[in-house]
Amino acid sequence: MAAAAAALLLLLLAAAAGPGRVGAGRARRDALREELLLSPLPAGDVAATFQFRTRWDADLPRGAGLAVLLKAERLFHSSYHSQAVHIRPICRDASCLAVSWELRQTLTVVFDTFSSGQGKKDWSLFKMFSRTLTDACPLASQSKVYVDISPKNKEKELLEVTPAPASVYEAIVQGDKRTYAVYDLLSPSLFNTSRSLNVQLKWKRPQDTELPTPVLHAQRYVSGYGLQTGEISTLIYNTHPYRAFPVMLLETVPWYLRLYVHTLTIITKGKENKPSYIHYQPAQDRRRPHLLEMLIQLPANSVTKITIQFERALLKWTEYTPDPNHGFYVSSSVLSALVPSVIAMKDVDVEQSPLFTSLFPSSDGSSYFVRLYTEPLLVNLPTPDFSMPYNVICLTCTVVAVCYGSFYNLLTRTFHVEEPSRGGLAKRLANIIRKFRGVPPL
Amino acid sequence: MAAAVPGACWVRAVAAALLLGCCGAALAGGVQDQAEQFFRSGHTNNWAVLVCTSRFWFNYRHVANTLSVYRSVKRLGIPDSHIVLMLADDMACNPRNPKPATVFSHKNMELNVYGDDVEVDYRSYEVTVENFLRVLTGRIPPSTPRSKRLLSDDRSNILIYMTGHGGNGFLKFQDSEEITNVELADAFEQMWQKRRYNELLFIIDTCQGASMYERFYSPNIMALASSQVGEDSLSHQPDLGIGVHLMDRYTFYVLEFLEEIHPASQTNMNDLFQVCPKSLCVSTPGHRTDLFQRDPQNVLITDFFGSVRKVEITTETVSLDNDLAGFESNLPKDELATEPLKYAEQLPVAQIIHQKPKQKDWHPPGGFILGLWALIIMVFFKTYGIKHMKHIF
DSSP B260: T
- Residue pair A155/A48 in contact by the 8 Å Cβ criterion: no
Q: Is the pLDDT of residue A271 over 80?
A: yes
Contact B336 A321 (CB under 8 A): no
pLDDT value at position A11? 33
- Residue pair B28/B35 in contact by the 8 Å Cβ criterion: no
DSSP B218: S
Give the H or E element holding residue A91.
strand A80-91
Q: What is the mean pLDDT of residues A388-410?
A: 93
Of A19, A91, A363, the CB nearest to B341: A91
- Give the amino acid at A99: V
Domains delineated in chain A: 2-203 (no CATH), 216-339+371-379 (2.60.40.740)
Distance from CA of B210 to the nearest CA of A (A): 26
pLDDT value at position B191? 95
- Residue pair A135/B371 in contact by the 8 Å Cβ criterion: no
Answer positive or negative: Cα dihedral of A131, A135, A138, A141: positive
At B161 the three-state DSSP class reads strand
Q: How far is CA A79 from CA A2, A76, A121, A375, B20, in A?
A: 10, 8, 15, 14, 80
Rounded CA separation B122/B49 (Å): 11
What residues in A contact B347, CB-CB < 8 Å? 246, 248, 336-338, 369
Q: Are strands A32-40 and A140-148 parallel, antiparallel or unpaired?
A: parallel
- Residue pair B173/B124 in contact by the 8 Å Cβ criterion: no
pLDDT value at position A15? 30
Cis peptide bond N-terminal to B365, omega within 30: no
Taking 3-state DSSP, the helix, strand and coil percentages for chain A, each rounded to the nearest 5, stand at 20, 40, 45
Burial class (CB in 10 A: 0-12, 13-18, 19+), B377: exposed
Rounded CA separation B136/B190 (Å): 9
Residues of A (217-276) whose Cβ lies below 8 Å from B: 246, 248, 276
Contact A248 B334 (CB under 8 A): no
Residue-wise DSSP of A242-310: S--EEEEEEEEE-TTEEEEEEEEEEEETTEE---SEEEEE--BTTTB-EEEEEEEEEPTTEEEEEEEEE
What stretches in chain B show pLDDT beneath 50?
1-4
Lowest mean pLDDT among A4-8, A98-102, B3-7: A4-8
Q: Which of the four pLDDT bands, split at 50, 70 and 90, describes residue A118?
A: low
pLDDT value at position A287? 92
Q: Which of the four pLDDT bands, split at 50, 70 and 90, describes residue A57?
A: very low
pLDDT value at position A26? 36
- Residue pair A282/A290 in contact by the 8 Å Cβ criterion: yes
What residues in A contact B340, CB-CB < 8 Å? 22-23, 91, 95-97
What residues in B contact A274, CB-CB < 8 Å? none
Distance from CA of A291 to the nearest CA of B (A): 16
A and B: number of Cβ contacts within 8 A: 87
pLDDT value at position B313? 82
pLDDT value at position A266? 95
Q: What percent of chain A has pLDDT over 90?
A: 27
- Residue pair B210/B168 in contact by the 8 Å Cβ criterion: no
Per the annotation, the verdict on B207 as an active-site residue is yes
Answer positive or negative: Cα dihedral of B128, B130, B135, B140: negative
Rounded CA separation B370/B363 (Å): 12
B341: closest chain A residue by CA: A96
Q: How far is CA A256 from CA A289, A313, A380, in A?
A: 8, 5, 11
Long-range contacts of B254-261 (CB under 8 A, 24+ apart): B254/B69, B254/B203, B255/B68, B255/B69, B255/B72, B255/B105, B258/B72, B258/B76, B258/B301, B258/B305, B259/B72, B261/B76, B261/B301, B261/B302, B261/B305, B261/B306
Q: Is the pLDDT of residue A20 over 50?
A: no
Q: Is the pLDDT of residue A230 over 90?
A: yes
- Give the amino acid at A367: S
Summarised one tens digit per residue, pLDDT across range A25-54 is: 333 445 667 777 777 666 666 777 777 766
pLDDT value at position A364? 63
At A121 the three-state DSSP class reads coil
At A153 the three-state DSSP class reads helix
Summarised one tens digit per residue, pLDDT across range A337-358 is: 988 876 665 555 554 555 566 6
DSSP A400: I
Q: What percent of chain A has pLDDT over 70?
A: 78
Contact B353 A276 (CB under 8 A): yes
Give the H or E element holding residue B39.
none
What residues in B contact A277, CB-CB < 8 Å? 352-353, 355
Distance from CA of B347 to the nearest CA of A (A): 7
pLDDT value at position A18? 29
Q: Which of the four pLDDT bands, split at 50, 70 and 90, describes residue A58?
A: very low
pLDDT value at position B385? 75
Contact A72 B101 (CB under 8 A): yes
pLDDT value at position A124? 83
pLDDT value at position B81? 92
Rounded CA separation B156/B220 (Å): 12
Of B55, B125, B336, the CB nearest to A97: B336
pLDDT value at position A31? 63
Whole-complex ipTM: 0.72
pLDDT value at position B178? 93
The alpha helices in B237-314, defined as continuous H runs, are: 249-259, 269-273, 278-281
Q: pTM (2 decimals)?
A: 0.76
Summarised one tens digit per residue, pLDDT across range A154-193 is: 556 677 788 888 888 877 776 677 788 888 888 877 777 7
Summarised one tens digit per residue, pLDDT across range B83-119 is: 999 999 888 888 899 888 889 988 776 788 888 788 9
- Residue pair A215/A240 in contact by the 8 Å Cβ criterion: yes
Rounded CA separation A272/A304 (Å): 9
Beta bridge partners of A180: A148, A169
Residues 6+ apart with CB under 8 A from A168: A149, A179, A180, A181, A182
